[in-house]
Amino acid sequence: MISGMIMDEKIIEFNNVTFMYDAEDEETGVVSAPAVKGITLAINRGEFMAVLGRNGSGKSTLAKLCNAIYEPYEGDVIVEGMNTREEENGDKIRRKVGMVFQNPDNQIVATIVEDDVAFGPENLGIEPKEIRRRVDEALKSVNMYEHRLRQPHNLSGGQKQRVAIAGVLAMQTDCIVLDEPTAMLDPVGRAEVLQTVKRLNKELGITVIMVTHFMDEAVEADRVVVMSSGEVVMDGTPQQVFSDIEKVRAYGLDVPQSTALCAALSIKENVLNAQQCVDVIDRICGGVK
């Protein structure tokens, strides 16, 4: 269990952060439009935060600012007290905050599952016995231990993504940033990855930042942040964010079908999934007579 006190501790802080690709054209001196602008945001330890927004809204940029892949143009990103601007912090930050990307085939390097998971800790120069322990533990955490000797290319997309997550866990990171981890998966693969992420968050207390286009995934988070044109435009619990259907749609997003159905029926309660929807309808109808 994560206590309220731990939740109050900030693991990553964005202080007025602006970032642009190709900041300045050398010939013309024209400054390009920022991908994120003036973002101030604190991610609490133990939180599961979903980041939503249209393509090009700055979600992936935000994700990559979290572990010093990108350095802010203006402002600071502070990870567990370390500023991502300072080069000597880079390695330390990347051990605290791991990333999982969209395409599982682009992030698996080894020919055997367990070797792939060991790749990170091996690079840190950790002794073999400890690596063995971490790899086993990480693979068990994502329910891939029995597949440890298989070849990654024979795994399903959902299994590959779980191997990628195990690779991050083996680094003993406190926080995982996932950039659309389920975009290329089928419904079962999506469910596997989401369940894994939720379990790591609830049971191991790992902070999760997940960029997604799927509203049914976002409703599983503790907190939903909506981005538009590089800015954070909504920030709250899934109930708070999805209760404003008009606003959510105006930002190019959608609400779950359950939420839309209840709104169309003028049911005032905040409903986020099929089960809640059925419960509300059942209650209003007073059960089957």
Partner 1 sequence: MTSAIEITGLSHYYNKGTPNEVAAIKNANLRIEKGELVAIIGHTGSGKSTLISHFNGLLKPDEGKVFVDGKDIWQSKESLRESRFKVGLCFQYPEYQLFEDTVFKDIAFGPKNMKLDDEEVKRRVLRAAQLAGVKPEHLDKSPFDLSGGEKRRAAIAGVMSMQPQVLVFDEPAAGLDPHARKQLIDMIKSYREQTGCTVIFVSHSMEDVAYLADRIIVINQAEIAMQGSVSEVFSRGDELTSMGLNVPEITRIFLMLREKGYDVPKDVYTVGQAVPHIKRLMEGGRAI
Q: Any contact of residue 81 with partner 1 (CB under 8 A)? A: no
Nearest to 159 by CA among 124, 201, 198, 113: 113
Identify which range of 1-9, 12-20, 38-46, 213-221 contacts partner 1 by CB under 8 A: 213-221
Q: Any contact of residue 256 with partner 1 (CB under 8 A)? A: yes
Q: Any contact of residue 288 with partner 1 (CB under 8 A)? A: yes
Separation between Cα atoms, residue 269 and residue 259, nearest integer Å: 9
Q: How far is the CB of 102 from partner 1 (least distance, A)?
A: 7
Q: Any contact of residue 35 with partner 1 (CB under 8 A)? A: no
Q: Any contact of residue 230 with partner 1 (CB under 8 A)? A: no
- Give alpha helix (H) positions in 39-89: 59-65
Please say which residue, 80 or 254, places its beta carbon nearer to partner 1: 254
Nearest to 120 by CA among 87, 149, 95, 146: 95
Distance set, CA 195 to CA 69, 192, 199, 219 (Å): 27, 5, 6, 13
Q: Any contact of residue 55 with partner 1 (CB under 8 A)? A: yes
Q: Looking at 69, 110, 126, 183, which residue binds partner 1 (CB under 8 A)?
A: 183
- Give the type of residue at 259: T
Q: Any contact of residue 277 with partner 1 (CB under 8 A)? A: yes
Q: Any contact of residue 282 with partner 1 (CB under 8 A)? A: yes
Torsions phi, psi for 155 (to 5 deg): -90, 160
State whether residue 224 is helix, strand or coil. Answer: strand
Binding-site size, partner 1 (CB under 8 A): 43
Question: How do strand 36-44 and strand 10-19 relate by DSSP bridges?
Answer: antiparallel
Please say which residue, 163 or 277, places its beta carbon nearer to partner 1: 277
**Look-up of token digits 């007073």:** 286
Contacting residues toward partner 1, per CB under 8 A: 53-57, 102, 156-158, 180, 183-189, 213, 215-216, 252-254, 256-258, 260-261, 264-265, 273-275, 277-278, 281-282, 284-289
